[in-house]
Amino acid sequence: MSWQVGAFGILALGLAGGFAWYERTRPDARIVALVGTLAAFGALGRIAFAALPNVKPTTDIVLISGYALGGGPGFVVGAVAALTSNFFFGQGPWTPWQMAGWGVTGLLGAGLARLVPGRIGRWPLALICFPIGFAFTALQDFGDWVTYSDHSFAQLALYVGKGVGFDLIHATGCLLFALAFGPALISSLERFRMRLEVKWLPPTIGAIIAAMLLLGGGGQPAPARAAATPTSYLLAAQDRDGGYGPAPGVGSSSLFSGWAAMALAAARQSPAAASHGGPTLLAYLERHPGGDYPGSLERSILAIHAGGGPVAGLVRRLRRQIRRNGSVLGQTNLTAFAILAERAAGVQPAARQIRWLSRQQDADGGFNFATAPGQSDVDDTGAVLEALAGTGHRRAIRRAVRFLRRNQNRDGGWPMEPGATSNAQSTAFAVQGLDAVRMSLSSLKHSPLAYLRGLIGADGQVAYARGQQQTPVWVTAQAELALAGKPLPVAAVTAARAGPVNHRSPAQRKPPADA
């Protein structure tokens, strides 16, 4: 009985940790909804494979949830998935052991994220899922021994010995599920998490002092200085290794460095010349292309091309991941960016890629991250418009433009999902998509460029939304692409061709073509 109490103790501590995470971070309601959705996904995955004994994707889903979202959310996903799925399989003394086991799996996922810097590869993830899957079922064998035996070591050996075969089946299933969907699920969750983890930053002491000096007078007026711009902010935010992090001084990564390179090229500043006392931005990108995950390859191709660097090798690696139906991992987002990356390299995308992409249009005219049917979002609709521009798919383009028109907010910006509040990144994707199909922004009821300019702070950084700051380098870079009127792929800018940026006004936009 004391062992059973131990299982309840692990469960109680884990759930308390999940509650503490919620109280400490007060996450966006959509993050909470995502945790609930993942728990339901884990439970349904277990139910869907009920006919195959011990073959369940739930362990992988929970582990990846912890990896992408953190220990608190990971534990909650695991515990809730176990509890809710047992309304189908049956509740009993095994339930707390399953809740504790999958909850700890979520914590292990968070630990894995700390141990492995950057995004983990497909095979390393699968090889880690194998022993964790085995450990989960071994814990259930231990729970059966606690619940149903006389607690002798002979009985423990009997329970473990009888369960080894089933444990290996579960572990093998975990390995195969990780190979099938692991990287794609990690990418989706990380993308969602980064976009919704909003931080409200209080004014710094320096800003307060500056404001007091400006408002209170005293002393001679400061000499006039040129106003900071998104371009000047990005140039100043570069790390000494040549790359960029989510904010100045945080540490570089290929994700933020890639978007910064494209933004600087759009502003006629060469990534091959951008340096902060060390290697150039282009040199950083060539040393850190981000691995073999398609999204990383696509972004690296677009960014390195923008700096005038060679991309032929990266394009060959990317094209090996395009499926026979034309998709990349069966995902709309990755397929759209693959088309853009190929164009950047001067490679003509195959007709099957364009066809597959256009067929993923949802009933409302928009596109979502995965495949149709689904919940359309502004970001992916804008990206698909960039990919479909000039392909002759006029009906799909017209419907996507109408989707963006319908979902523009009165402040001129766009939300990530219809009905939400506007943000700079979604607005930037929408503007770039409309630019790509030569849709005149002046024909819109509200000005998206005015919305973006209203988010530019005194130091030139672009806020995520009004009163909200997060990942300022990423947000500023994507906003700069829209403000400069440069849809992807951005033309290469070498040091010799660099020049001043010219943010076009709506009146300078070309007239609509496919809209």
Per-residue pLDDT of 303-327, as tens digits, reads 999 999 999 999 999 999 999 999 9
Stretches where the chain sits below pLDDT 50 are 1-5, 7, 11, 14, 21-28, 198-224, 500-515
Q: How far apart are the first and last CA of the chain?
A: 70
pLDDT tens digits for range 75-96: 989 999 999 988 888 888 888 8
Q: Say what the pLDDT of residue 230 is.
A: 96
- pLDDT, residue 16, reads 55
pLDDT of residue 510: 42
Cis peptide before 511 (omega within 30 of 0): no
Q: Are 477 and 245 in contact (CB under 8 A)?
A: no
What is the reported pLDDT for 332? 94
In this structure, are residues 298 and 340 in contact, taking their beta carbons and an 8 Å threshold?
Answer: yes
Burial group, residue 312, by CB count within 10 angstroms (0-12, 13-18, 19+) = exposed
> Quick one: pLDDT at residue 68?
84
The CB-side HSE value for 233 (13 A sphere, CA atoms) comes to: 26
User: For position 121, what pLDDT does the model report?
Assistant: 81
Asked if residue 345 lies in contact with residue 315, where contact means CB atoms within 8 angstroms, the answer is: yes
- What is the predicted pLDDT for the residue at 117? 63
Q: According to the model, what pLDDT value does residue 286 have?
A: 95
* 3-state DSSP assignment of residue 514: coil
pTM over 0.85: no
